[in-house]
Amino acid sequence: MEIREYKSKDEQGWLRCRVLSFLDTAYYDNVLREKEVYENPAIELVAVEDGNVVGLIDIEYEVEERTVCSRGSGLGGMIWHIAVHPDYRRKGIGTLLLDKAEQLAREKNLNRFEAWTRDDEWVNIWYEKSGFRKVDSYLHVFMEGDEELKGHLKSEVPHLYPILAFAHYVGEDTETINSKFSRVHECRCYEKKLR
């Protein structure tokens, strides 16, 4: 297996790897049809085995403080994507990608990584074992159907009826939110200092 920089010819493999790796997570419906192009510089790595992308990590990083990351001081990098194809998990590929990304980040004088993820226990355990610490959170709230949307969301456009909505809840009454809506995820921010 080889860890190397992402190349444009990797896009289809990158997309397949990402969608398959997200299917059994709380991000199962976060499907991309093309790979993002970042506004700022980025560390973009893939793990390749037998010509197939089996892992990936994308980190957009700052050249000016607080332009990419939501917290901290100094220059940071935001992990937008980290994924390992389900058939290749538990082989250390995610850790290898992160290690290589950390090496490159230090060369670019970054002092930390930031990552946001939902409440999949195994994903959160991986971040913690990889030296990240939870520093913030809020709720991702999905509203679907008349019962969940009624009284919470309506259209002011005649004959336009919302049937599905996604919202952020940053308040304190998480118990009430969890009881009102059937799909709620805690979105957690992790930070790792780079030494």
Compute the residue count for the chain: 195
Q: Torsion angle of alpha carbons 106, 107, 110, 113, nearest 10°?
A: -50
Residue 120's Cβ-count burial label (10 Å; 0-12, 13-18, 19+) is middle
- pLDDT of 68 above 80: yes
Q: What is the pTM of this model?
A: 0.93
The fraction of the chain above a pLDDT of 70, given in percent, is 100
Query: Which residue matches tokens 């250390």?
Result: 92
pLDDT in tens, 6-41: 999 999 999 999 999 999 999 999 999 999 999 999
CATH 3.40.630.30 in the chain, residue ranges: 2-132
- pLDDT of 86 above 90: yes
CATH of 2-132, one of 3.90.79.10, 3.30.310.10, 3.40.630.30, 3.30.70.980: 3.40.630.30
pLDDT in tens, 102-156: 999 999 999 999 999 999 999 999 999 999 999 999 999 999 998 899 889 889 9
Cβ-based neighbours of 186, under 8 Å, separated by 6 or more: 118, 119, 137, 138, 139, 140, 174
Query: Which residue matches tokens 């940053």?
Result: 170
